[in-house]
Structure 1
Amino acid sequence: MQRARTGDYGGMSGTPRTVRSRLAAAWSGFWLVPAAFAAGAVLLAVGLSVAELRLGLPTAGFLPSSVAGARSLLSSIITAMISFTALVFSITVVAVQLASSQYSPRVLRTFLRDRITQAALGTFLATALFAMVVLAALPAGPDARLPELSLAVTMTFVLASSGLFVYYLHHVTTVMRVSHIIAAVGAQTRRVIEEQYPVGPAGAPVAPLTPPVQVITAAQPGMVEHVDLGRLAALAREHDCALSVLPAPGDFVVAGQPLIAVHPLPGGQLPASVPETRACVAVSLGVERTLGQDVGFGFRQLTDIAERALSPGINDTTTAVRSVQEMHDLLRRLAGRPGHRLLVDDPDGTPRVRARAQDFDGFLAVAVDDVRRAGRDQPRITRLLDDVLADLRSVALPEHLPDIARRTESRQA
């Protein structure tokens, strides 16, 4: 068996990534919305400064009538907006620290992706930068014509920032509640379930692939974030072979661990060596798990909240119960759906890509086994988990019943 290894990329930052994965990382990042607001404010201020002489605005009695008054107003706005920005940043950092210590470090992503916080920070930055550009464009002469439109837009930004700041204070106190965090994680996981686990009959059995002739290994460690099946299928057709991804989304791989196997087609010739870099770029690795193809990450977050709530230092059974109830809804949705299959075949049935998918037994292991172990001395938790299994047994497809029955029988033994 030929064994190939990809080159050393010098750390996670050098991992080859697809355009899709880069766009997804940027969209989920905390910086994108504030940066877009700030850039838009600067462009708007410059554009208004250029068009100011061609436009007139009746603002007598509302805006400053002198250059000195406008300069003083703009300076005050800049100072206030910078203070607002620092306050929002400080509140966000405190909220993140509290959530990490009290609930789970894995729920930080929920806070960082919160669009209200990003919009508040972006609005304050945009107002400050807009005022700075207008201040820089003020004429020097005391009798010069004032940029009335720019000043009016600045005041509009100030009013919008004031209203958004009040709403932000309300919003941050809402998202800090544990019930909101649990509901947010559940809602995100439900969206992934709808995408990855469609409702319908189980597919036909999948024929096993031939033994591999080439194994491509991971260049560095990381969590499997996303498997690009379309890119792998195109690569397999180009080299007239089939590819199988060995780890599942959410698994951790170490440097040198087998990542992708190359299989000859049944009755076909041995394929040419598949380029390692082109194959590896289709399997995105990261430093942490993310929701996408990784439904189990949602269960992991909810279980972490339940386990921490059941710890002796916190002893909050009600929070653990709420987490189990949210996972009950997720498990019930999955119990009535066939297992997820990450595969691509040609129209004529030729296999092209096979990838491991997370199974229902793994979800039960996280949601039921881990929580039962942490709450074995809490009757409310044990009774709730028994009720969850009984309900799942009434709606589960036949392929999931053995996983449920095994846990029910072990409980009765």
Structure 2
Amino acid sequence: MDTPLSVDKVRFLLFSFKEKLWIKPLGFCVLSLLAVFAAKIVDGTSLAEHIPKIEPDSVTTLLSIMASSMMVIATFSAGTMVNAYASASQSSTPRSLGLTISDDVSQNALSTFVGAFIYSAVALTAMSQKFYGEAGVFFLFCITCLAFAIVILTFIRWVDSVARLGRVESTMLKVESATERAIKQRIETPCLGAVPASEISEQGSYAVQSNEVGYIQLIDIAKIQEWASDNNVFVNIAMLPGEFVTPDKNIAFVDKDVDVDIIKSAFSISTSRSFEADPRFGFIVLAEIASRALSPSVNDHGTAIGTISSITRLLLLWSKDHVASNEDRQQQPDYEVKYSCISVPEISVKDIFDDAYTSISRDGADNIEVAIRIQKSLQTLAKCFENNDSHVAEDFKTNAKHFAKLSFERSKQQLNFEPDIERLENVFEQRS
């Protein structure tokens, strides 16, 4: 059965392709081959009568220079990128490796260098066989000059970027950016665009389990919607992207005894989590970066504090926009969800706070600077919605106060210096 390709599915596929290092170099190689043979097409036109004559030897010299240098530069850039990937895994967390690999500047640089080498090698072979006429040689000369300019500009830009590639600060920014995209995507499509599970009074009687074991990366809601509409079935999705699936867990429920293979195939399950459709994963990775920075071997509380700042920005973005979204829905009683045959549970605010703060407050309990920054972060979140009566705002306030108390109790047990305990108590008491 043909199903529509949803925007979420397209976005997920594009994100997956970006994480594959060979995609862009292959594309640039194909373009370089097309450019070489495009020069031959010019020979069949009257362009030769209107262009200056270019000596083939000059083009051959330029191509020889490019061919001899591009493979060396491409090899050097690949080695530098591999070192940056190893540095990113060791200094931050292995879970951030996918974002480092998908760095556009590095991928474009490697693709440009490899593509330039393929272009120059094939063009040299064609020139040695006297494949081109005068117009073709002139066109090839123009393409070669353009290729030189692109290579030089790419190299300059890449040198500026490679100095930061794999550094903790750069990795944190990439993780924050990816998490922000996931949050905005979830805000634009609450409950993945389906009916909120809280609005459904009864759940389907027939459970759906998957035979796979792994993390849900994507749920193709559009595919399930079309199937459910054709079969007059209502589907209750029980698990969200990012949750761990095993054969004993129910991923969905239906209200009829029907063939549910389509539902199973709509769940993309893998051995790892993805940033694209899973906002919680970004908070987990940020917390891992902070925990590694707080380990005795690193002892870098400044990075942990920077991570808490990133978490605060992301939660403020989520809370403000999410509250606004729910308020808009309350003001629009005729609001209709996009997928009316499916219900999806809302993401748990408590789980987000747990992902973001628990490990940092545990590993930084004996560090007064980190403990105070956690308290200030949670106080900021609680105070931003003191005058907001929506249930989402109340959820944020409740969890902010709850996790502030947990963090305070942890630090109070770990801190031995009395003045530090007093400082922390003073900050904690300001929450009210």
Please state which band the TM-score falls in when normalised by the shorter chain. 0.7 to 0.9
Mark the CA change 1:314 to 1:45 in structure 2 (over 3 Å): closer, same or farther: same
Q: How does 1:128-147 map to 2 (within 5 A)?
A: 128-138=117-127, 140=129, 147=137
Unaligned runs of 5+ in 2: 1-7, 327-333, 386-392, 410-432
- Residue 25 of structure 2: which of 20, 23, 34 is its match? 34
Instruction: Report deviation, 1:150.
Output: 0.8
Mark the CA change 1:20 to 1:325 in structure 2 (over 3 Å): closer, same or farther: closer
The equivalent of 1:176 in structure 2 is: 166
Q: State the distance in 1 between where 2:60 and 2:243 align.
A: 58
- Residue 181 of structure 2: which of 165, 172, 191 is its match? 191
Instruction: Report deviation, 1:235.
Output: 1.9
Deviation per residue, 1:257-293 (Å, 9 max, x gap): 3222212xxxxxxx351331x1122221122211222
Mark the CA change 1:258 to 1:142 in structure 2 (over 3 Å): closer, same or farther: closer
- Residue 239 of structure 1: which of 231, 236, 254 is its match? 231
The equivalent of 2:36 in structure 1 is: 45
Unaligned runs of 5+ in 1: 1-16, 264-270
Mark the CA change 1:92 to 1:139 in structure 2 (over 3 Å): closer, same or farther: closer
Tell me whether 1:325 sits opposite 2:314 in the alignment.
no
- Residue 364 of structure 1: which of 313, 331, 353 is its match? 353
Mark the CA change 1:316 to 1:409 in structure 2 (over 3 Å): closer, same or farther: closer
Q: State the distance in 2 between where 1:307 and 1:194 align.
A: 26
Deviation per residue, 1:302-360 (Å, 9 max, x gap): 1111000000000011111101111011112223334999xxx9969996212234311
> Normalization by structure 2: what TM-score?
0.78
Q: How does 1:4-403 map to 2 (within 5 A)?
A: 21-52=12-43, 54=45, 55-56=47-48, 65-67=55-57, 70-71=59-60, 73-138=62-127, 140=129, 147-198=137-188, 206-255=198-247, 257-263=249-255, 271-276=256-261, 278-336=262-320, 337-338=322-323, 352-396=341-385, 397-403=393-399
Mean CA deviation greater in 131-140 or 369-378: 131-140
Q: State the distance in 1 between where 2:337 and 2:161 align.
A: 54
Instruction: Report deviation, 1:209.
Output: 4.7
Instruction: Report deviation, 1:199.
Output: 11
Instruction: Report deviation, 1:19.
Output: 6.8
Instruction: Report deviation, 1:379.
Output: 0.3
The equivalent of 1:404 in structure 2 is: 400
- Classify the secondary structure of the residue corresponding to 2:198: coil
Deviation per residue, 1:62-108 (Å, 9 max, x gap): x6x355x6545433421211111111111100000011011111111
Mark the CA change 1:398 to 1:35 in structure 2 (over 3 Å): closer, same or farther: same
Mark the CA change 1:141 to 1:297 in structure 2 (over 3 Å): closer, same or farther: closer
Q: State the distance in 1 between where 2:273 and 2:52 align.
A: 54
Q: State the distance in 1 between where 2:252 and 2:324 align.
A: 22
The equivalent of 1:267 in structure 2 is: none
Instruction: Report deviation, 1:229.
Output: 2.2
Instruction: Tell me, yes or no, if the aligned pair for 2:217 and 2:277 is still in contact at 8 Å.
Output: yes
Instruction: Tell me, yes or no, if the aligned pair for 1:77 and 1:128 is still in contact at 8 Å.
Output: yes
Return the letter of the residue paired with 2:397: L
Q: State the distance in 1 between where 2:30 and 2:293 align.
A: 43
Q: State the distance in 2 between where 1:250 and 1:361 align.
A: 15
Instruction: Report deviation, 1:387.
Output: 0.8
Instruction: Tell me, yes or no, if the aligned pair for 2:222 and 2:339 is still in contact at 8 Å.
Output: no
Return the letter of the residue paired with 1:275: V
The equivalent of 1:7 in structure 2 is: none
Instruction: Report deviation, 1:111.
Output: 1.4
Q: State the distance in 2 between where 1:86 and 1:351 align.
A: 53
Higher helix share: 2
Instruction: Report deviation, 1:157.
Output: 0.9
Mark the CA change 1:259 to 1:305 in structure 2 (over 3 Å): closer, same or farther: same
Mark the CA change 1:149 to 1:141 in structure 2 (over 3 Å): closer, same or farther: closer
> Normalization by structure 1: what TM-score?
0.82
Return the letter of the residue paired with 2:299: N
Return the letter of the residue paired with 1:274: D
Q: State the distance in 1 between where 2:130 and 2:372 align.
A: 79
- Classify the secondary structure of the residue corresponding to 2:275: coil
Counting aligned pairs with the same residue, the percent is: 19
Mark the CA change 1:301 to 1:156 in structure 2 (over 3 Å): closer, same or farther: same
Q: State the distance in 1 between where 2:215 and 2:325 align.
A: 19
Q: State the distance in 1 between where 2:273 and 2:396 align.
A: 25
Q: State the distance in 2 between where 1:410 and 1:149 align.
A: 70
Deviation per residue, 1:235-262 (Å, 9 max, x gap): 2222222112222211111245322221
Q: State the distance in 2 between where 1:411 and 1:140 align.
A: 74
Return the letter of the residue paired with 1:192: A
Mark the CA change 1:86 to 1:275 in structure 2 (over 3 Å): closer, same or farther: same
Q: State the distance in 1 between where 2:408 and 2:160 align.
A: 48
Return the letter of the residue paired with 2:398: P
Q: State the distance in 1 between where 2:19 and 2:31 align.
A: 20
- Classify the secondary structure of the residue corresponding to 1:296: helix
Instruction: Tell me, yes or no, if the aligned pair for 1:48 and 1:150 is still in contact at 8 Å.
Output: yes
Mean CA deviation greater in 401-410 or 370-379: 401-410
Instruction: Tell me, yes or no, if the aligned pair for 1:340 and 1:358 is still in contact at 8 Å.
Output: no
Instruction: Tell me, yes or no, if the aligned pair for 1:346 and 1:352 is still in contact at 8 Å.
Output: no
Instruction: Tell me, yes or no, if the aligned pair for 1:49 and 1:137 is still in contact at 8 Å.
Output: no
Mark the CA change 1:398 to 1:148 in structure 2 (over 3 Å): closer, same or farther: same
Q: In the comparison of the two structures, how many residue pairs are matched?
A: 380
CA RMSD of superposed structures (Å): 3.3
